[in-house]
Structure 1
Amino acid sequence: MKNPESKIWQHGADLVVAQLEAQGVKHVFGIPGAKIDKVFDSLLDSTIQTIPVRHEANAAFMAAAVGRLTSNAGVALVTSGPGCSNLITGMATATSEGDPVVAIGGAVKRADSAKLVHQSMDTVSMFRPVTKYAVEVTDSSALAEAVSNAFRYAEQGRGGSSFISLPQDIVDQPASGQLLSSKARVQLGAAPDATIDAVAREIAQAKNPVFLLGLMASQPENSEALHRLLARSHIPVTSTYQAAGAVRQEHFSRFAGRVGLFNNQAGDRLLQQADLIVTIGYSPVEYEPAMWNSGNATLIHIDVIPAETDNRYLPDAELVGDIAATLDKLAARIEQPLQLSQAAAAVLDDRQHQRELLALQGKNLNQFALHPLRIVRAMQDIINSDVTLTVDMGSFHIWIARYLYSFRARQIMISNGQQTMGVALPWAIGAWLVDPGRKVVSVSGDGGFLQSSMELETAVRLKANVLHIIWVDEAYNMVAMQEEKKYQRVSGVKFGPVDFKAYAEAFGAAGFAVNSAAELEPTLRKAMDVQGPAVVAVPVDYADNHLLMGQLHLNQIL
């Protein structure tokens, strides 16, 4: 493209905001302060909606939801010092989850950077280990370049976070620079034909092949290509939690469910007996290879980037390139569908039987507080294809990841990289902003909820159509069950009760409390009918949590 002409901007902040507009940014999440307030002021004259939040980490979470659902980086904007340091958990989470985020942080004036002054902090060094790109702008002529490159790093390949530090004098003073208006993405081709041919031969010879799907397989275009490959090959498939929704309903009978955390699922059994494992869009951070790779199978890696290898993840072949294009070329080379082995068929039949058990008998779990499977069964009824679901971290996360199904790519946002608590509500707000016509349901435990519940005010202010379901047990129960297994006692996991109905109403949201087993389904339906923020508190009985760590069969419960 032709180089645009340079111009003089009244403030560096004006150039930053204009470059954000050129990148197609629609929302900026953040909290202002003296070192960055000129950028907030410049946003008033732009097409970008500024959304003040109540904690900087939540700004990064909201931006991450935008990034995951659109593949265009969401943006967080914060002030210097603790404004930046509060971002770190959100940025680390985005990078490990593959979510494109660009964060901009204020900094002291360049003349003060070596002095012990108010809010002076080497933020670039702090962010470098948890981002794909971290830089401080030291000359205003580099502002547009820094912003443009931050987006390129965040969005290309497997997504992640980028951080830009802006000294106060850089954004306050006049700047000379030009907008970099090109938003062209790097377009990858399919993996080399010769390598695809070799993998197709491996598939033709395999007796027990399995596809293991990772986060990148759940991108809509990759999920479409996966559908075509599964229709042609009939190969059994399992997925990590992050790939939820990648498999369509037509292939449900060959889907062994999701795997993660504990090696005891139907998908784990398929992987253990496999002679060929093909990972698609998978990263080891999603499910540690030592947990599922016995080393007895031929291992194929399909992704946009080469494998991150370790002692238990050393692929025999790597198909690196555009995932959808590679899958379509591979599908074209599949000459006949797989005939399931008896062992694979037994695993899949058992998995289907367990799904039917839950569907038919889950409502019969009538104890109060409620069994996790009763709540999952009730949630399945309200999470239709038009609803987006965001899931926090806790014991409920395992029950939902294992037993609540989805057939729409990226319908469910779920974490297993950093396993960060408090993500669900800010993710839900970001997801709603991406598509305001779609209801969003978020779910957390009572521990995780209070780590980001201040954003209920943000949801109320935006009139976000979000329902948040809290599984209440007054403990950090996922930690508790692991402590109990290791030490036969627990430490540091108990806390006190909160009246969540009153809490929600204090923010201006609709509040609901489930007070008996019979109230669960009607209360959820009533809360779903609210047009705006609503909160439902559901007491949960985690007495069966220990079964999650063993070979759980639903016949033990239902």
Structure 2
Amino acid sequence: MQSASDLLVACLEAEGVASVFGVPGEEIEDLLFSLRDSSIAFVPTRHEQGASFMADVHGRLTGEAGVCCSTLGPGATNLITGVADAHLDKSPVVVITGQGGRERLHKESHQALDVVDVFEPIVEWNTQIAEPEIVPESVRKAFKLAEYEKPGATHLEFPEDVARAETDATPIPTRDRVRRPDPDDDAADRAATLLESAERPIILAGNGAVRTRAADTIQALVDRLGVPVVATYMGKGAISDREPASLMTLDSGPNDEGARAIERADCVVAVGYDIAEHDPAGWNPDLEKTIVHVDHEPAEVYRHYNPDVEIVADVGAAVTAIDDRVPDGACSLWCPELHDRLLEAVTDPPGSDEPITVEGALPLLRETMADEDVLVSDVGSHKMAIAQSFPVYEPNTCVISNGLASMGIAVPGAVAADLAVDANIVAGTGDGGFLMNAAELETATRLDCGFTVIVFNDDDYGLISEKQLEHRDEQFGTGLTNPDLVTFAESFGIEAYRPDTWTEIDRVLSETVPSDDLALVELPLE
């Protein structure tokens, strides 16, 4: 016999979990001590939102569910932003929350909320573990549904009296992930015919192209047929931006040249495209394009995205099926000059007399990062610059939240990335997003993490100011004041810098980004 909390942790071990991120609480005391006696590391964070963002980014980068936990009430509600981010960004996450004993849940009681009901809209599946015997089935189901394409978050509520109860149940063995059948032959034939007959075909690579590790199959099709590729923000890296076929993202280049290219296209092969991250009305306003939908699920019903053909299958297998059916020479790279112009524009370093801007800093940052290094972007005006102007050379090396698009993800996300991958990590953030979860710098130092935080500081919620000025020619409610961020970082024992010339910025980034040390670089924007 063992306690249900010991059993739950044994089930987590069976799922291959290495770390659980969370904030301790009274109602998860048994779970915490069960984790202490296991092979799993419990990572105390400074806020539950930081814990859920860490689980979120772990899931994005590894494809394996990140795990976060909290106590009941405010602990559970503090997790919600990161869990919702995982939901809309299709990142596998398993959430465990404590709850009071069942003997008090029928009445109003201290900190008690119906957390299962609260989480219902933002998770794939959600249950209370009401009996110790159902722990194995509940944990196995949570991981299976979180990691099944399309992935997302699942939630388990664990009442404290259940956690203490004894049981002789054992973990359920894991199995290979369920995959969809191969593509339907008729749909693949029709898709190939549309691609072959198009004069200006283009591939729109979305989040799913990267998430399902379909980059190699897309590259193989591009190598043979020469079809250009434009990506959504979360599809960056589906093919290398060095490739002549890459047109970067939909908003890349002066006057959004990526969007103008897809506007010229007559056939769009949308691979792993999620409407939540980019409205199709922007690139199919007149409903004139032939669209081939390639994804693990049928297309959302949307007037501006009503595909002529849908291939619902494993994404990589579907791309290969189309490639196999289109003869050599059927397509051509019909906008080769655009790639060269885009890449040159985003890799040219700034002139010494140019003002300090995010766009100017990105070529210097790119030069200091290896192809496999990972940039975790926060949300704000700097995210738009990163999405549009930061070239990516390998899949899953630029983490952008664009489904929920939540501020505050960069610092905790960089902690998770540093633990998950063997590469240098950069957190790119604005002053607004940075201070939302800056306390996780202490978590990073405690874990001996080594990454670089770049804070683009404009003393403002800059993206909102831009929108207000565009809409009203004035701004309100967006101005901020900040502490001395260098001194703030140094108070955590972190090396910090505030370079104010391009020469100094280049030198500091060249020293910090390849280093194994934790560092903060503040760039005051002009």
Report the TM-score when normalising by structure 2. Answer: 0.96
Give 1:190 deviation, angstroms. Answer: 2.1
Residue matched to 2:521: 536
Relative to structure 1, is the Cα distance of residues 289 and 249 closer, same or farther in structure 2, using a 3 angstrom cutoff? closer
Aligned to 2:52: 60
Alignment of structure 1 residues 246-395 onto 2, 5 Å: 246-248=238-240, 252-259=243-250, 265-294=256-285, 295-340=287-332, 344-345=334-335, 348-360=336-348, 362-364=349-351, 366-368=353-355, 370-395=356-381
Counterpart amino acid of residue 525 in structure 2: V
Q: Does 1:41 align with 2:21?
A: no
Question: Which of 390, 402, 409 is the aligned partner of 1:423?
Answer: 409
Unaligned segments of structure 2, at least 5 residues: none
SS at match of 1:535: strand
AA aligned to 2:72 is S
Q: Equivalents in 2 of 1:287, 1:80: separation in Å?
A: 35
The aligned counterpart of 2:437 is 452
Instruction: Name 1:461's counterpart in structure 2.
Output: 446
Change (3 A) 1:260 1:59: farther
Residue 519 (structure 1) aligned with residue 504 (structure 2): yes
Gaps spanning 5+ residues in structure 1: where?
A: 1-7, 542-558
**Contact (CA 8 Å) 1:105, 1:165: kept in 2 or not?**
yes
- Is the partner of 1:399 in helix, strand or coil? helix
Contact 1:76 1:103 in 2 (8 A): yes
- Matched residues in 2 for 1:283 and 1:267: separation? 18
| Amino acid across the alignment from 1:366 | D
C-alpha deviations, 1:490-526, integer Å up to 9, x for none?
1111011321111111112111111333311011122
Partner SS, residue 103 of structure 1: strand
Tell me, yes or no, if the aligned pair for 1:257 and 1:266 is still in contact at 8 Å: no
Residues 14 and 216 (structure 1), Cα distance of their counterparts in 2 relative to 1, 3 Å cut: same
- The amino acid that maps onto 1:405 is P
Q: CA deviation at 1:201?
A: 0.9
Instruction: Decide whether the 8 Å contact of 2:252 with 2:342 is kept in 1.
Output: no
Displacement of 1:339: 4.9
Q: CA contact under 8 A between 1:260 and 1:287: conserved in structure 2?
A: no
Post-superposition offset of 1:455? 0.4
Number of positions where the alignment pairs a residue of Structure 1 with one of Structure 2: 525
- Deviation, 1:220, is 6.6
Distance 1:261 1:154 in 2: 32
| Structure 1 runs, 4 residues or longer, greater than 3 Å off | 260-264, 337-341, 357-360
> Any conservation in 1 of the 2:432–2:461 contact (CA below 8 Å)?
yes
C-alpha change, 1:262 and 1:160, in structure 2 (3 Å) is farther
Q: CA deviation at 1:376?
A: 1.1
Partners of 1:425 and 1:234 in 2: how far apart? 39
Answer yes or no: is the 8 Å Cα contact 1:190–1:323 preserved in 2.
no
Maintained 8 Å contact 2:247/2:342: no
| 1:490 aligned onto 2:478 | no
1:259 alignment partner AA: L
Distance in 2 separating the partners of 1:176 and 1:357? 64
Opposite residue 353 of structure 2, the aligned amino acid is: N
Deviates more, 1:151-160 or 1:83-92: 151-160
* 2:270 alignment partner, SS class: strand
CA distance in 1, matches of 2:449, 2:277: 30
* Contact 1:156–1:185 (CA under 8 A) maintained in structure 2: yes
Give the 5 Å matches for 1:101-180: 101-180=93-172
Q: d(CA) in 2 for partners of 1:355 and 1:102?
A: 39
1:410 is matched with which residue: 396, 399, 413? 396
8 Å CA contact 2:252–2:259 kept in 1: the answer is no
Percent sequence identity is: 30
